[in-house]
Amino acid sequence: MVDERPFLGVLFRCCGVYSRIYRTQDETAYAGRCPRCARPVRVVIDARSGVDVRFLEVY
């Protein structure tokens, strides 16, 4: 089974770990946590000032 949920690839610089964060059910943001230290990250979806990248680095 292939998971086709929208996601962003994130490099968590806090622990040097790559993971995916997935779109929230209300489709207003992408949210997730670092898989090692559980630091939260949230990326708001805004069509007016968005970017085209699918991979991010967070600090």
pTM above 0.85, yes or no: no
**pLDDT score of 51 more than 80:** no
Q: What is the pLDDT of residue 21?
A: 96
Angstrom distance (rounded) from CA 58 to CA 17? 10
Rg from Cα positions in the chain: 12
* 3-7, 31-35, 50-54: least confidently modelled range: 50-54
The string of DSSP codes covering the chain is ------EEEEEETTTTEEEEEEE-TTSSEEEEE-TTT--EEEEE--TTS----SEEEE-
Residues recorded for the chain: 59
